[in-house]
Structure 1
Amino acid sequence: MRVRFLALILLIAFLSSPVPTNRVDKLFLVYMAADNNLYIQGMGDILEMEKAKKDNLKVIALVDDKTGTRIEEITDREEIIEERKNEDSGDPEVLFKFLNFALSTYQANEIVLVMWGHGDGRNFKGRKGKGICFDETHSDFLTIGEIRDVLSKIKERFNRKIDVLIFDACFMQSIEVSYELRDYVDFVLGSQTYIPLDGLPYDEVITTFSENKSDLKTLSVNIAEAYFNSYNNGSQGNENVTFSVIDTSYTDEIKNFVNSIIPILISKDDVLSVREKYEVPMNEKYIDFISFINDTLDENKTFKFISLIKNLVVVEFNNFDSRFKGVSIYFP
């Protein structure tokens, strides 16, 4: 009797777990929050996706704009999988349903997720003014805590992380963001400053993913380099940009280090004047984490910090300002 009961429990667990119906080597997911003034840029990015090489790769996008919300497969054209009413892309349930659909439908070896839209950092107090994926129709947005909770449910349901998370949104590359997502994402790509309106060069990024035969760290570096080169007299012209790759597995060590130096920072009379030297333009509550620490601590502490940062920031590209080294920290 006990054996039958155990067998029944196992059967129920098996039946309740999603079984993907299609196998694919690589899955490129885009959560496009374009129900705002980025609508035209969203259309342009979809055209870029259509041009990309997609060998053994699926591009699945949730597109939320002023005309409505739909899930699409992007091949050499837009193929609508499901049309919905105008949903709130700032609602974490909408993000969860999209990721759940994609991972229930496709079993992939490697997954890249792009969070697309307006961005403004970590969101510390309530839901006022900080987050990503702003939806104008619903006056809503996603906080990093909400994204973390969604990815936690996805990991629990599918027993896997997102391999690479790309923020195609301004100001998202902060140590707090990567720390929040460390258990659910391996590599985070983004900018600590602004992202130009053209965003990622999706044809180049997806083609890079399609052709990648190396590990995920190398893939992340190559995607970041493709982004930077596209704005360095490349396919998207010439703009001052920053972009970096963070290995989230080192964020716990960084947190412990920061906690250890707080008493030192508090004791310094000039800490606020040093802070002002490294404010992120247009988002002054954030400062460059690396430059600030290097300018504040003594040589011994700085040496330890540099060794940690070499692991955390895999690579950073910058033709914007040498003060910015790839990752910010919230310091209002």
Structure 2
Amino acid sequence: MKRVSSIVLAVLLLFTAVSADAAAAKPKRAVKEWTVAVFLNADNNLDPFGMEDQKEMSKIGSNEYMNIVTLIDRERGPAQINYIEKGKVTKIKDMGELDMGDYKEFVKFAKFIKTNYPAKHYSFTLWNHGSGWKNKNENAVFRGISYDDSSNNHITNNQLTIALKQITAALGQKVDILNFDACLMQMVEVAHAVRDHVNFMVASEELEPGKGAPYDDILRGVKKGMSPKDFAINWVNAFYKSYNGGSQGHDDSTQSALDLSKFSALLDSLNGLAKTAMSGKYADVFKKALLRTQKFDFPENIDLIHFLELLKPMAASDNSLKTAVDKALAASKAIVVENKTTGSTLKNSKGLAIYLPASFRLEQKYTTLDFAKETMWDDMILALAKREVVDNLLKEVKAGKLTELKKIVAAAKKNPKNDLYRMALRELNFVSSTERSVPKASQAEFEKLLESLKTALQTRR
């Protein structure tokens, strides 16, 4: 029995020694300077462009200081992880059918990258349809990011926040560059969603051309020792050159890079602007500036910097508004580290878009964003809408036209709790008793309607 035990013990010791030797002999993954990882969701009508982009990447390929890795899910095929070398796309792992519209798959890919292709710096690209803060299936267009035709799923802004929080935890550091090779993503609302987990964000304010990012041009510019900021600037310039008669020909395009370490200052300045706008009668000047502001495929997406530049001279005689505009303009310009456009229709794209419809009609979905919940931007839009209604009402009354006032009275009787009608009453009282600017011909009817409005609002509970 002792002999058997000795033999078993000897075998176990030998197995342990062999296992230890094997573990010691297993090569460790070299930590390179950069890993460029592309979450390539081609499970949609962009499938041909996905394959072409991998070919572009292989023109440069991984090297001693850079890994290039893709997770691609095609329209009529299973997903796979590829390692891109010069002249070669090598399948590393079969992934089966994936729901690339599920943010959890993005997180899993990032964890795979950390384990298998560690680096000092990480660049992640979300490749697909995009539409800024909005979700898909609104207004019959694709909205969101990473739209998967098989699952009919997508990644929302709020899910982006969750995903990147988990990714930075897995990486043990922030993502150095987050690129959206997709349309309409370079927005304040999107930047807000990723601000705590990303150093630089590279994206387009407008629709991207179908060919998207010129990966060969971009990767060719990545040099040994390149900083994240220089990488982001290189990305923007390579994109610009490619569509300005370069490798992609000629096409209208926008591309910019944001330094998200400066987002907090921008957020404070936008809250300051919103607070000021809500405190005065500014709907008219905002409207005038908005009508001339650079807009994008969704016209409610406007270029923030261009808008503020147009608003600035209109605010020159109002110290409060002037101060707020100056601060917001300075903060907006500071966050944009590089911006390039091609095409005359986009010449006023300055690098950062925001939601601000010229109609001041706030979409209900917007209020579900963390950006809307944490700032006064949506409150400002609602306040401007009310201000515009009251301003138009006063113009009508002073012109002797009472049709709009009749509508206000009727609406107030149905919904006396709406603050719009109380605002209208205050302004109408001023017109009646202080300005005395109601034409005599309509004075009597105006007074009756004013009393009706007062009575309606007295029933408020």
Q: Does the pair score TM above 0.5? A: yes
Residue matched to 2:45: 37
Q: Give the C-alpha shift of residue 187 in structure 1.
A: 0.4
CA separation of 1:103 and 1:228: change in aligned 2, threshold 3 A: same
Runs of at least 5 residues in structure 2 that lack an aligned partner in the other structure: 1-27, 317-321, 358-461
Equivalent position SS for 1:228 = helix
Residue matched to 1:163: 176
Deviation per CA, 1:181-223: give whole Å up to 9, x if none.
Answer: 11111000111001101111111112222x2534221221111
Q: Give the C-alpha shift of residue 295 in structure 1.
A: 2.1
1:268 and 2:282 aligned: yes
Q: Contact 2:57–2:215 at 8 Å: present in 1 too?
A: yes
CA separation of 1:276 and 1:138: change in aligned 2, threshold 3 A: farther
The residue correspondences of 1:85-100 to structure 2 (distance < 5 A) are 85-100=96-111
Q: Give the C-alpha shift of residue 170 in structure 1.
A: 0.5
Q: Give the Cα–Cα distance (whole angstroms) in 2 for the partners of residues 292 and 24 of structure 1.
A: 42
After TM superposition, the score normalised by the length of structure 2 is 0.64
Name which of structure 1's ranges 294-303 and 91-100 shifts more when overlaid on structure 2. Answer: 294-303
Residue matched to 1:180: 193
CA separation of 1:126 and 1:256: change in aligned 2, threshold 3 A: farther
1:257 and 2:269 aligned: yes
**Bigger CA radius of gyration:** 2
Residue type of the alignment partner of 1:121: G
Name which of structure 1's ranges 176-185 and 258-267 shifts more when overlaid on structure 2. Answer: 258-267
Deviation per CA, 1:284-325: give whole Å up to 9, x if none.
Answer: 221111111222243543433333233200111122323221
Residue matched to 1:290: 305
How many residue pairs align between the two structures? 311
Q: Give the C-alpha shift of residue 279 in structure 1.
A: 5.4
Residue matched to 2:203: 190
Q: Give the C-alpha shift of residue 126 in structure 1.
A: 9.5
Deviation per CA, 1:255-275: give whole Å up to 9, x if none.
Answer: 111111113334313223432
Bigger relative contact order (CA 8 A; separation at least 6): 1
Q: Contact 1:28–1:206 at 8 Å: present in 2 too?
A: no
Judging by fraction of residues, say which structure has more strand: 1
Residue type of the alignment partner of 2:88: R
The partner residue of 1:308 within 308, 331, 338 is 331
Q: Give the Cα–Cα distance (whole angstroms) in 2 for the partners of residues 273 and 89 of structure 1.
A: 42
Q: Contact 2:270–2:328 at 8 Å: present in 1 too?
A: no
Q: Give the Cα–Cα distance (whole angstroms) in 2 for the partners of residues 295 and 280 of structure 1.
A: 13
CA separation of 1:207 and 1:53: change in aligned 2, threshold 3 A: farther
Q: Contact 1:265–1:296 at 8 Å: present in 2 too?
A: no
Residue type of the alignment partner of 1:46: Q
Equivalent position SS for 1:293 = helix
Name which of structure 1's ranges 289-298 and 269-278 shifts more when overlaid on structure 2. Answer: 269-278
Deviation per CA, 1:18-76: give whole Å up to 9, x if none.
Answer: xx844222101000110111000111111101111532211111101121111111112
Residue matched to 2:72: 63
Q: Give the Cα–Cα distance (whole angstroms) in 2 for the partners of residues 190 and 316 of structure 1.
A: 10
Q: Give the Cα–Cα distance (whole angstroms) in 2 for the partners of residues 24 and 116 of structure 1.
A: 23
The partner residue of 1:228 within 234, 240, 254 is 240
After TM superposition, the score normalised by the length of structure 1 is 0.88
Equivalent position SS for 2:184 = coil
